Amino acid sequence: MPEYVKYVDVTKCDGCRACMVACKNWNDLPAEPQDFLGSIQSHSKVTADTWNVLQFVEHENAKGNLEYLFRHSACFHCKDAACEKVCPEDAISYTEFGTVVINHEKCVGCGYCVQNCPFDVISLKEYKDKNGKEYRKANKCTMCTDRLEEGMQPACVTTCHTGAMEFGEKDDMIRKAEKRVQEIKGRFPNAMVYNPQGVGGTHTVYVLAEKPSVYGLPENPKVPTSAVLWKDYAQPIGKMMIGATTMAVLGAFVTNKLFNKEGKEHDEDGGGSNE
């Protein structure tokens, strides 16, 4: 089937937050108490219970004038997703639409996906079982995959009243983004299409008015080489040679060593030494 992407033109966004409300409503996400961040910004970033955030950036443009830049922030749904590669339980997968989803029945809350997402859009949510025992599961935007399966568009797209978001076939959306960049170059000399190839391209393609870093985005995000080697080469070969069950146990150990950034930093700081 054709590849689909969400197109986001930040220059048309007026910061109304309708996309945030639609996301909360459709996905039945609870409200979150937030510290006061100013009169405009409601959340500093996406969380396990807020998958869609409108970000406001104060920016001094080329003429020295201060202006607000808006960005709809949610999961990018990378074509080559680091979260999928580092998950030791195969709890993260791609759908036929190209969206990246989390299987909560398989997720063990290890947090490797959180630590390795180049866009910082995955969070762990705390739950309690019937006995009161706490456990965690990874959460993030699904791009309304359940709606896509029914022939509908993502909730955030359908509620955008300025036309800042669309959802359609990838080639059409890329052409639209490239055309739009040429149209706004006079006002925004640094305008660009943000579809980073270091992660294989994304299923959320942006028209940005300024460089990615102005919006808090990585300029050239990439999947860690260690994750590529492990997921695409070591795991398949290992399963053939020693069996899937043994490889699963070994996989959990190797994943912990390779992708647990906190543990790595702890060791480098000398925190794990008994000397």
Question: What CATH number is associated with residue 245?
Answer: 3.30.70.20
Strands (E), 157-273: 165-169, 192-194, 204-208
In a domain, 207, yes or no: no
Which residue matches tokens 């998958």? 51
In a domain, 146, yes or no: no
In a domain, 94, yes or no: yes
For residues 124 and 48, the answer to whether their CB atoms sit within 8 Å is: yes
Which pTM was predicted? 0.81
Q: pLDDT tens digit string along 122-157?
A: 999 999 998 999 999 999 999 999 999 999 999 999
Weakest mean pLDDT among 76-80, 189-193, 206-210, 269-273: 269-273
Is the pLDDT confidence value at 86 over 60? yes
In a domain, 241, yes or no: yes
Average pLDDT, the chain: 85
Parent domain of 120: 82-141+223-268
In a domain, 114, yes or no: yes
List, as one string, the DSSP characters of 7-63: EEEGGG-----HHHHHHHHHHTPPP-------SS---SS--SS---EEEEEEEE-TT
In a domain, 51, yes or no: no
Average pLDDT over residues 96-101: 95
Which 3 state secondary structure label does DSSP give 153? coil
In a domain, 75, yes or no: no
In a domain, 40, yes or no: no
d(CA 184, CA 162): 16
For residues 259 and 115, the answer to whether their CB atoms sit within 8 Å is: yes
Number of compact structural domains in the chain: 1
Q: pLDDT tens digit string along 221-243?
A: 988 766 655 565 455 554 555 54
